[in-house]
Amino acid sequence: MTALHLEFDVAGNNFVSAGSASDEVKKTLKMLGVDPAFVRKVAIAMYEGEINMVIHAGGGKAVVDIFPDRIVIVLEDHGPGIPDIELAMKDGYSTAPDAVRDLGFGAGMGLPNMKKYTDSMNIESTVGEGTTVTMVVNFAR
């Protein structure tokens, strides 16, 4: 069976449209009859990834492939990159500017949430070139 393939452009520094790609994916999964527990995991992980691109990377691209048994989400940006991924993964560690904290972000829980709510997450990042995050959520129990 072929996958359902979706692509989204995520605009940088635009909090009005932030979350719209995640919302589209959530709606699609619901329409496909995916168990709401899995839909919620995908929505949380993808929203966090989307917000990261909005805050840190000047936007990017989200490529989503939905298979009968899993979803694969690839978030690609050409932002500043992550110098120390291990540090960035720590609960509570954040480099978000104050203006972004005022909006309710910057708790340092974005990447930890993405890891927590996915079955696998891989980060490839080169400083000065950008970051690619690949996340998989399996629908099978």
Partner 1 sequence: MTIDSIIQALGARIINIEDPKREITAGYCGDFLSNVISKAPADSVWFTVMNNQNVAAVQTLADIALTVICEGVEPDATLAARVKERGLNMIVTDLGVYEAVRKI
* Residue 48 C-beta: closest distance to partner 1, Å: 6
Choose, by CB under 8 A, the member of 1, 2, 5, 16 that binds partner 1: 16
Residue 116 is inside which H or E element, if any?
helix 110-116
| Tokens at 86, concatenated | 């291990």
Other beta carbons less than 10 A from residue 25's beta carbon: 23
Angle at 107 between CA 102 and CA 110, to 5 degrees: 120
Smallest gap from residue 128 Cβ to partner 1 (A)? 27
What is the per-residue binding string for partner 1 in 39-78, x denoting contact by CB under 8 A? -x--xx--xx------------------------------
Using DSSP bridges, classify how beta strands 120-126 and 130-138 pair: parallel, antiparallel or unpaired.
antiparallel
60 or 110: whose CB is closer to partner 1? 110
Residue 105 lies near partner 1 (rule: CB under 8 A): yes
The answer to whether residue 23 forms part of the interface with partner 1 (CB under 8 A) is yes
Q: Which residues bind partner 1 (CB under 8 A)?
A: 15-16, 18-20, 22-23, 26, 36, 40, 43-44, 47-48, 103-107, 109-110, 113, 116-117
